[in-house]
Amino acid sequence: MSDDLLTRAEALDAADPLAHLREEFLTPDGFDVVSYLDGNSLGRPLRATARLLDEFVREQWAGRLIRGWTDGWLEWPLRLGDRLGAVALGAAAGQVVVADSTTVLLYKLSRAAVDARPGRRKIVLDTDNFPTDRYVLEGIAAERGLNLAWIETDPATGITPGQVAEVVDADTALVLFSHVAYRSSWLADVAEINRIAHAAGALTLWDLCHSAGSVAVKLDDWGVDLAVGCTYKYLNGGPGAPAFGYLRRDLQAELRQPIQGWMGHRASFEMGPGYEPADGVRALLSGTPPILAMVPLHANLDMLAEAGIEAVRAKSVLLTGYVLELADRWLAPLGVEVVSPREAEQRGGHVTLRRAGFEQLLEGLWDNGVIPDYRRPDGIRIGPAPLSTSFAEVHRGLSVLRTLLEKQVS
Peptide bond into 296 cis (omega under 30): no
Classified as helix, coil or strand, 160 is: coil
144 is catalytic: no
233 is catalytic: yes
CA distances, 163 to each of 171, 189, 330, 346 (Å): 16, 12, 35, 16
CA neighbor of 35 nearest in space, from 405, 403, 389: 389
315 is catalytic: no
**Gap between the Cα atoms of 48 and 249, Å rounded:** 33
CA distances, 49 to each of 96, 147, 220, 229, 302 (Å): 22, 44, 30, 20, 11
Which pairing describes strands 172-178 and 203-207: parallel, antiparallel, or unpaired? parallel
Catalytic member of 82, 207, 225, 373: 207
What string of DSSP letters covers 263-312?
Answer: GGBTTGGG--SS--BPSGGGGG--S---HHHHHHHHHHHHHHHHH-HHHH
CA neighbor of 222 nearest in space, from 259, 262, 252, 187: 187
**Gap between the Cα atoms of 77 and 191, Å rounded:** 27
Spatial contact of 349 and 323, defined as CB atoms under 8 Å apart:
no
Could you count the other beta carbons within 10 Å of the beta carbon of residue 213?
A: 34
Kindly state the greatest CA–CA separation across the chain.
73
177 is catalytic: no
Catalytic member of 354, 381, 396, 402: 381
Catalytic member of 183, 233, 347, 355: 233
Nearby residues of 19 by Cβ (< 8 Å), 6 or more positions away: 13, 390
Nearby residues of 167 by Cβ (< 8 Å), 6 or more positions away: 124, 149, 151
391 is catalytic: no
Residues β-bridged to residue 352: 381
Spatial contact of 232 and 296, defined as CB atoms under 8 Å apart:
no
**Gap between the Cα atoms of 313 and 325, Å rounded:** 18
Spatial contact of 263 and 286, defined as CB atoms under 8 Å apart:
yes
Catalytic member of 56, 107, 232, 234: 232
Catalytic member of 79, 130, 154, 256: 130
Which active-site residues does the annotation give? 130, 207, 232-233, 381
